[in-house]
Homo-oligomer: A and B are copies of this chain.
Amino acid sequence: MNSFRVTPWEVEGSVDYEKLIKEFGTQPLTEDLKKKFVDLAGEDHVLLRRNVFFSHRDLDKVLDDCFSSKGFFLYTGRGPSGRMHIGHIIPFVFTKWLQDVFGVNVYIEITDDEKYVYKRDAKWNQIQEYAYDNILDIVAVGFNPDKTFIFKDSEYIKHLYPLALKVSKHINFSLAKAVFGFNNITNIGLIFYPSLQIVPTFFEKKRCLIPAAIDQDPYWRIQRDIAERFGYYKAAAIHSIFLPPLTGLRDKMSSSKPETAIFLNEDYETIKRKVMKYAFSGGQPTVEMHRKLGGNPDVDVSYQWLYMFFEEDDKKLEELREKYKKGDLLTGELKQYLIDKIWEFLEEHQKNKDKARRKVEKFMYDGKLSKRMWDLEFEDVFSE
């Protein structure tokens, strides 16, 4: 039986994304809508073309708001439970692209509170260290420092709290139980937390588009139930699948299982060793058999990573696929190809991260947008 489970805190099993669309009640990202999207953006993006973003809510309305120049804003986030890996950075790469092509504001929530209450043995200071390191990774992606506000919940809480309380009044325990799978042993910090993740969707009186992995959708479901009562728009979302772990196509990459992921701070040697050792192969047990029978790219994680993100060139990708299937390309060769692609991406990322330290202030406190956010009181939300 193909059973799986997706909540904001756990992804288990081999996820059936079509089934998830039905379960969560989201919309598939059709070719028609993608075309409209790409036309408006003026360019395509590999993550769209390869269906890493595969589902949405109200993306069509966001595009309409663009046409009618009402505009929209972007919101995404990161739970600082450890160092970031490739799977974590992908939604940020896409969000950055969206900012570039549409010229809109981006709000990035660092949910240190969530990560602290979620794990029983989480240490506050450890989470704060991860938060700072994660922020550097996010800054390294290259957002516009005057149109991006990165904030840590525990630090920005004075601004968030009244709004979170307002949100919390519309969510009773039954609803939280049904949507997030809470139960009697869930602690009251985690029970309250969803309020905090919903608040940033009310940062502007425009439609909010949230690029994030599909596991975050439960929050937006609740937001969409209450937003209009607040005089705000229902949040729109564009959902990504999970980049599969190195070790196979089930579950998602996990920081607690280092063999499943490539971390953003890893060097060439480590990446090479991990991919060579752990990347699940669709190839045959021996070179002779592989030459004869060929490999299966559909279960081969190296091929899947190239498909989903690392090989943007459609022709090149098709060529790899054909060669691999025919047995002309060996598993080791395919892996080496991926290793070089990953390193190309990470070498650049690591350089940018070195420079990020000097830019953090702007994103968090004194850029054009961040400064405005620290001055804001959100009083209008209470004026009703």
Contact = CB atoms under 8 A, between A and B. Distances in A.
A124 B166 contact: yes
A176 B185 CA distance: 10
Contacts of A116: 162, 165-166, 169
Nearest to A183: B173
A367 to B, nearest CB: 21
Contacts of A124: 162, 166, 382
B168 A192 contact: yes
Interface string A172-189: 111011000011111111
A329 interface: no
Of A182, A183, A192, chain B has the most CB atoms within 10 Å of the CB of A192
A191 interface: yes
Contacts of A248: none
A165 B189 contact: yes
* Copies of this chain, count: 2
Nearest to A184: B174
Contacts of A173: 173, 182-188, 191
A161 interface: yes
Contacts of A125: 382-383
Contacts of A187: 168-173
A123 interface: yes
Interface in A69-111: none
B168 A174 contact: no
A172 B192 contact: no
Contacts of A195: 188-189
Of A124, A174, A187, A190, chain B has the most CB atoms within 10 Å of the CB of A187
A166 B125 CA distance: 12
Contacts of A191: 173, 188, 191-192
Interface stretch (A31-39, A152-160, A348-356): A152-160
Contacts of A154: 158, 161-162, 165
B171 A188 contact: yes
Nearest to A163: B124
B113 A165 contact: yes
Given A116-B165, A117-B168, A166-B124, A189 B192 contact: yes
Closest 5 CB pairs of A and B: A168-B189, A192-B192, A124-B382, A174-B184, A172-B185
7 contacts: A116-B166, A117-B165, A117-B169, A157-B158, A168-B192, A171-B188, A188-B195
Given A116-B166, A173-B173, A174-B185, 11 more contacts: A113-B165, A116-B165, A123-B382, A125-B382, A154-B158, A154-B162, A154-B165, A165-B189, A173-B191, A188-B195, A189-B195
